[in-house]
């Protein structure tokens, strides 16, 4: 029903309005377990026949399958190559059975038994056994796409994008780069922009389940507590502007939770990059140089400011040198082909309605040997939020 409503809205409203409701935006990634399995079979070049087996929820203990699940774990953010399991992220892909009070205990014991017992630990083995424990003991696999947290590197990119989009002056960038991220209208709106872009701030306000996943390594359950929710709601209902709502929620409700100084840290890192970018001079399009033999005419700099970067005096007669010099830039000769993956990962928006309609069907895979009828994992709207 919700998905149908989504389609109707789609037909009636302007694209900008739809984007807020049915689509992901910015750098936000929502991904289903099966989409990740599919993607990882491609990355690892696992034969198509095996994909059919995985789609049927069979994950036999062979090396190929073990490394597939390692790949899925990294892709969905529940496995970290150095630190291993990231509980908040994996938990979002499994829905405990209603009334089951033992699932956490069983999962914990399973992890001790199976992961603890691995004789010669390797990442594929550990990720596989971990998955098996959640799959068999924690609950049903959730079919809906779930929020995949941004890595710090990605969050820093989001902060950099925001600094550029909000057109903050160099003077302010220098203050941020020095490590001072103090309260001001600009800082408040920067927090707002970053949280929007990384999916932490949605139409429904600050998403506490997503913050919980963002700080996966901390597994800080206080993000999901009644007190934190009440604090968030109080600020949201106080009638302040959105920038202030986001900033005050960070300061009043989320201070001391999860990773200390996460947002100010990425702002400082992003401001440093932004300042570095200001010093970069842009090279000329290298294409004429590579394609036209009379190098010296096409490579002669037209703008004096670009002289050093685009075509040094000493090399202008040698086409090959000149084109070598610009080799990396060739990569950008077809912007359309290059921009897409960076801005919107291929799985996002490729088949939005397939994803949506999947959710309207069975939300969870039934595991053999247990009764899961009548249970519905929360997929409240298209690409709905993590179920908690």
Chain positions contacting ligand NAG, by CB under 6 A: 80-83, 151, 217
* CB count in 10 Å sphere of residue 74: 17
- Using CB positions, name the residue nearest to ligand NAG: 80
Minimum gap (Å) between residue 345 Cβ and ligand NAG: 16
**C-beta closer to ligand NAG: residue 81 or 98:** 81
Instruction: Provide the residue count of the chain.
Output: 388
84: helix, strand or coil: strand
Minimum gap (Å) between residue 205 Cβ and ligand NAG: 26
Minimum gap (Å) between residue 159 Cβ and ligand NAG: 16
Supply the Cα-derived Rg of the chain in whole angstroms. Answer: 25
**C-beta closer to ligand NAG: residue 150 or 187:** 150
**C-beta closer to ligand NAG: residue 154 or 360:** 154
Q: Are 257 and 222 in contact (CB under 8 A)?
A: yes
Helix (H) or strand (E) holding 175: helix 170-177
**C-beta closer to ligand NAG: residue 31 or 192:** 31
In angstroms, the CA 218 to CA 216 distance is: 5
The DSSP letter of residue 22 is H
**C-beta closer to ligand NAG: residue 80 or 315:** 80
Minimum gap (Å) between residue 198 Cβ and ligand NAG: 15
Minimum gap (Å) between residue 28 Cβ and ligand NAG: 18
Helix (H) or strand (E) holding 103: helix 103-110
Q: Which residues pair with 84 in a beta bridge?
A: 80
**C-beta closer to ligand NAG: residue 81 or 204:** 81
* CB count in 10 Å sphere of residue 306: 14
Minimum gap (Å) between residue 248 Cβ and ligand NAG: 27
In angstroms, the CA 172 to CA 14 distance is: 36
């Amino acid at each position: 029903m919700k998905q149908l409503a989504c389609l109707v809205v789609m037909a009636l409203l302007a694209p900008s309005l739809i984007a807020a409701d049915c689509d992901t935006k910015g750098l936000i990634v929502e991904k289903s377990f099966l989409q990740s399995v599919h993607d990882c079979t491609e990355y690892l070049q696992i034969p198509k026949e095996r994909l059919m087996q995985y789609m049927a929820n069979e994950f036999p203990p062979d090396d190929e399958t073990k490394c597939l699940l390692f790949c899925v774990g990294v892709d969905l953010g529940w496995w970290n190559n150095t630190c291993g399991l990231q509980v908040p992220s994996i938990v979002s892909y499994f829905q405990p059975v209603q009334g089951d009070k033992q699932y956490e205990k069983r999962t914990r014991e399973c992890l001790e038994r199976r992961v603890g017992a691995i004789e010669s630990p390797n990442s594929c083995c550990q990720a596989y056994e971990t998955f098996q424990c959640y799959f068999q003991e924690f609950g049903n696999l959730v079919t809906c796409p779930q929020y995949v947290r941004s890595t710090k590197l990605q969050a820093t990119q989001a902060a950099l994008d925001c600094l550029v989009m909000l057109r903050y002056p160099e003077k302010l960038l220098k203050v941020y780069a020095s490590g001072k991220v103090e309260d001001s209208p600009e800082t408040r709106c920067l927090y707002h922009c970053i949280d929007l872009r990384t999916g932490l701030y949605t139409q429904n306000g600050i998403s506490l389940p997503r913050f919980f996943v963002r700080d996966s390594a901390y597994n800080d359950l206080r993000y999901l507590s009644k007190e934190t929710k009440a604090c968030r709601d109080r600020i949201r209902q106080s009638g302040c502007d959105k920038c202030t709502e986001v900033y005050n929620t960070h300061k009043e409700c989320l201070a001391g939770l999860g990773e200390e100084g996460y947002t100010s840290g990425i702002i400082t890192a992003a401001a440093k990059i932004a300042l570095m970018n200001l010093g970069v001079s842009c090279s000329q399009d290298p294409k004429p140089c590579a394609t036209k033999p009379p190098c010296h005419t096409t490579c002669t700099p037209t703008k004096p400011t670009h002289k050093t970067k685009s075509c040094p005096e000493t090399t202008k007669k040698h086409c090959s040198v000149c084109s070598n010099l610009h080799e990396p830039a060739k990569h950008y000769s077809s912007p359309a082909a290059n921009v897409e993956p960076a801005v919107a990962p291929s799985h996002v928006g490729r088949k939005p309605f397939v994803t949506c309609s999947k959710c309207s069907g069975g939300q969870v895979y039934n595991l053999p040997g247990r009764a899961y009828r009548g249970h519905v994992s929360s997929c409240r709207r298209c690409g709905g939020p993590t179920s908690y």
